[in-house]
């Protein structure tokens, strides 16, 4: 078992209601020397599957023999998390585009600065857990600067971005940019979300991260080899042009799509007419993110992510 566990709270500003705004982490200190591994979740407030996984990870790791130190940040953006909102309503900025932050900036910029100083600059490996928000469901892992570590999560689909990190892929500075400037491994996991039971996604996240920790030598046990994996280098984000009911027609996540295969229709809740039909954009695609249930969407909401198999590796 870890020889030491504690909660760390770092105050970075004061809210107008008089409360302290803090960054909260759980530290598990192992019995032997080793790297400090940071695991974070809910940098977007409506992505709570990762936070559930961090809770279960904490319970599981508390009974493991650890090498090194693990810092768990279960809710990176509590001011968005509490309202199931993507951004903190104090400034409506995307926290994951504000790094490394600004101690004299807006609220989210100050939060990014605190996370950078108290978490990102104190770890040797970063594992960041994301999900498909509270409506679409997602299933893939990024390959950034440590392919073996990304593959050890054992997802069947991975994404290798071909554009640069700063601004080109994301349109802003993310945690990945910050940690890679320090030349430490970074993995972003996208798994779960949607108006469905999250239990299977939480369990997969816990098992996948534990396999990563075995790969890093932080916990004991044999590393489970990955399944057959597909790596894509191009993802198409597809958003509805109309608001209404999104009725999914797509096959399951990870399924191969033919050219023009239907993904969904948008239906008016009022007139019942079909306003739009959404189809796969590639000759051969693979489902990476989609809606598993009939969901109400606005024009431009998150719809689907489809990988282009013409760019796929193995």
Point out the domain boundary residue: 228, 254, 282: 228
Same domain, 211 and 247: no
CB within 8 Å of 174: residues ≥ 6 apart: 96, 97, 99, 165
Range of the domain at 93: 4-228
Cβ atoms 132, 206 nearer than 8 A: no
Point out the domain boundary residue: 168, 194, 228: 228
Q: Which two tokens stand for residue 142?
A: 């990024």
Q: Give the span between the Cα atoms of 64 and 66, in whole angstroms.
A: 6
CB atoms under 10 Å from CB of 161, counted, come to 16
Point out the domain boundary residue: 203, 228, 253: 228
Cβ atoms 196, 253 nearer than 8 A: no
Q: What is the mean pLDDT of each run of 10 residues along the chain (314 residues)?
A: 83 96 97 96 97 97 94 98 96 96 97 98 98 94 97 98 58 83 95 97 98 97 97 97 97 96 98 98 97 97 96 87
Same domain, 97 and 180: yes
Same domain, 34 and 64: yes
Cβ atoms 215, 148 nearer than 8 A: yes
Nearest alpha-carbon partner for 145 in 119, 182, 115, 172: 182
Same domain, 216 and 248: no
What are the two backbone dihedrals, phi and then psi, of residue 190, each rounded to the nearest 5 degrees? -115, 110
Same domain, 46 and 78: yes
**Neighbour-count burial of 214, counting CB atoms closer than 10 A to its CB (0-12 exposed, 13-18 middle, 19+ buried):** middle
Same domain, 224 and 237: no
In DSSP notation, 82-117 reads TTT-SS-TTT---GGGBTT--TTS-HHHHHHHHHHH
Same domain, 81 and 32: yes
Same domain, 69 and 132: yes
The per-residue pLDDT for 1 is: 52
Q: Give the span between the Cα atoms of 234 and 158, in whole angstroms.
A: 11
Q: Give the span between the Cα atoms of 149 and 37, in whole angstroms.
A: 12
Where residue 84 sits, what CATH number does that domain have?
3.40.630.10
Where residue 237 sits, what CATH number does that domain have?
2.40.50.100
What are the two backbone dihedrals, phi and then psi, of residue 34, each rounded to the nearest 5 degrees? 175, 180
Same domain, 259 and 242: yes
CB within 8 Å of 5: residues ≥ 6 apart: 26, 27, 28, 29, 62
Helical ranges in 143-288 per DSSP H: 147-151, 175-180, 199-216
Same domain, 107 and 195: yes
Same domain, 268 and 127: no
The count of domains in the chain is 2
Same domain, 150 and 285: no
Cβ atoms 86, 130 nearer than 8 A: no
């Amino acid at each position: 078992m870890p020889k030491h566990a504690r909660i760390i709270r770092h105050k970075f500003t004061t809210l107008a209601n008089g409360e302290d705004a803090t960054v909260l982490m759980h530290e598990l200190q192992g019995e032997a020397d080793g790297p400090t591994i940071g695991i974070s979740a809910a940098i977007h407030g409506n992505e709570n599957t990762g936070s559930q996984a961090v809770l279960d990870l904490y319970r599981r790791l508390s009974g493991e023999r650890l090498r090194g130190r693990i810092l768990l940040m279960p809710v990176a953006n509590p001011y968005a998390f509490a309202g199931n909102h993507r951004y903190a309503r104090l400034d409506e900025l995307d926290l994951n585009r504000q790094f490394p932050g600004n101690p004299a900036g807006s609220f989210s910029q100050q939060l990014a600065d605190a996370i950078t100083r108290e978490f990102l600059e104190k770890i040797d490996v970063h594992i960041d857990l994301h999900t498909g928000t509270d409506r679409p469901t997602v299933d893939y892992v990024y390959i950034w600067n440590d392919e073996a570590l990304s593959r050890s999560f054992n997802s069947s689909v991975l994404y290798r971005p071909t554009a640069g990190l700063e601004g080109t892929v994301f349109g802003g500075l993310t945690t990945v940019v910050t940690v890679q400037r320090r030349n430490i491994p970074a993995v972003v996991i996208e798994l779960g979300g949607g108006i469905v039971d999250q239990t299977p996604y939480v369990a997969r996240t816990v098992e996948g991260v534990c396999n990563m920790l075995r790969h890093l030598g932080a916990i004991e046990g044999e590393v489970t080899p990955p399944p057959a994996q597909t790596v894509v280098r191009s993802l198409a984000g597809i958003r509805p042009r109309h608001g209404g009911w999104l009725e999914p027609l797509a096959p399951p996540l990870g399924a191969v799509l033919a050219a023009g295969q239907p993904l969904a229709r948008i239906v008016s809740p009022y007139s019942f007419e079909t306003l739009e039909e959404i189809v796969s954009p590639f000759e051969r695609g693979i489902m990476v993110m989609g809606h598993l249930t009939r969901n109400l969407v606005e024009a431009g909401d998150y719809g689907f992510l489809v990988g282009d198999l013409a760019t796929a590796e193995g």
